[in-house]
Amino acid sequence: MSDGIPRVSIPVIDRIILHLWEQDHQADLYIVTSEVTRTGISEVCAMHPPNVSRAMRELMSNGFVSEHSRSVRGEDRRQKTWQLTEDGRLEARQRIANLRTTTVLLRGKNGKLLEIRADEAAKKLETN
């Protein structure tokens, strides 16, 4: 994609906030899926696990996320999990509104580039 096509990079903090927004249905549950653990967030947001912890410290200091120790479905031991706070939910809504004005390029199944709004990228990736 280096043939004159502009690269759009979504900041790490935005990716995490948007991912936790999509997982907000798990807020305050006793048993959660791995998608709200360090490993799950790192896989979904394309990050190294240590960088997830670093980003979470920043998000917690800003009051956007809270940390919990929860049982994870399919795991024997409890793990650290994160969820959005009320301020985090407000921030997520604002960031989603901003992403609606940003377009990104994805490669479709047929190999052609698709230009879509950034807020629709996750849904498009799931269907392709």
Q: Could you give the domains of the chain?
A: 12-127 (1.10.10.10)
Per-residue pLDDT, 6: 64
**pLDDT of amino acid 102:** 81
Per-residue pLDDT at 93: 95
Which residues of the chain register pLDDT less than 70? 1-8, 122, 124-128
Model pLDDT, residue 125 = 65
| Confidence (pTM) | 0.80
Q: How far from each other are the two terminal CA atoms of the chain, in whole angstroms? A: 19
| pLDDT at 1 (0 to 100) | 44
| Token pair for 121 | 């990228």
